[in-house]
Amino acid sequence: MADITEVDYIWKNGELVPWAEATTHVLSHSLHYGSGVFEGIRCYKVPDEDKSFVFRLRDHMERLHRSCKIAQIELPYSVDELMDATLEVIHANKLPACYIRPLVYRGYGVMGVDPTGAPVDVVIAVWPWDAYLGADALENGVAVGISSWRQRSNNAIPPAVKATASYMNSILAKMEAKAHGYAEAIMLNEAGLVCEGTGENLFIARNGVLSTPPLSDGLLEGITRDTVLCLADDLEIPAVEESLTRSDLYIADEVFMTGSAAELTPVGSVDGRVVGKPGEITRALQDRFFDLVYGRIDEYADWLTEV
């Protein structure tokens, strides 16, 4: 995990605002009650070329709209307007590669659990951000542990909404994992089935078959997760969505986590049980993923928005 690197501008409510002036009131509703939704997106610079692409920008902004619908937040900008704003703030900050954080939140004006009447603020921030789980995580993998904290159930906080409030148990799980010497935590759902990491979806490979928990087990509908399932099909790797137990993680041949920040990060051990170095399936999917985001696969050109 790295500190944020400040840049020049943040897009807020339709205009570019100097970084230090992109502030909000301490009595904003979302600060007190977690009534905000967000996205995480990456912009990749093509190596040795003066060209950059935002990966699946439309899909992310469409998911942001879905999150707002579930949370009953009136988002005053269309998907196309948010896409244009993203490119505008990247250009303004002269960033060939960056992490992108759109955030929709209820601002200052009312207090109490009922948000009726609170204004809606929309921001898009960008900054440089390399490997989410450490410099060598993509190459050598990370150690993870099963958290004592459970993931929220489908009828508690809907997993389909990427809400700021959803991440309280992720925070607790992450801090617990770090205290035990792990880079990341894996959370089970209330039924005791494998759900997801604190900010990632999860895959295992065993006997040549790729498995990932189904959305019905309470996980976020990850865009990188969907990408990996498509890439597995390209590579003729059998892939299934099925419920997993913690024992499935212990005896897996390969384990990896996916997400916009984590990209495709291998897992080297689970609760001290060694998985080992990234295997053949993980490496093949990693290679194809980075070929995709760098614009080397023509069939996925629609997933890339050139900056």
For the chain, what's the residue count?
307
Which residues does 224 contact at the CB level (< 8 Å), separation at least 6? 201, 258, 259, 260, 262, 263, 264
Reduced to 3 states (helix: H, G, I; strand: E, B; else coil), residue 171 is: helix
| Euclidean distance between CA atoms 159 and 218, whole angstroms | 6
Is 162 a residue of the active site?
Answer: yes
Helices marked H in the chain: 29-33, 57-71, 79-93, 137-140, 168-179, 223-234, 246-250, 280-293
Do 180 and 191 touch, CB atoms closer than 8 A?
no
User: How crowded is the C-beta side of 154, counted as CA atoms within 13 Å?
Assistant: 7
Q: CA separation (Å) from 54 to 103, 108, 161, 170?
A: 17, 32, 22, 26
Catalytic residue among 12, 162, 178, 277: 162
Do 164 and 36 touch, CB atoms closer than 8 A?
yes
How far from the centroid of its chain's Cα atoms is residue 187's Cα?
Answer: 15
Active site residues: 162
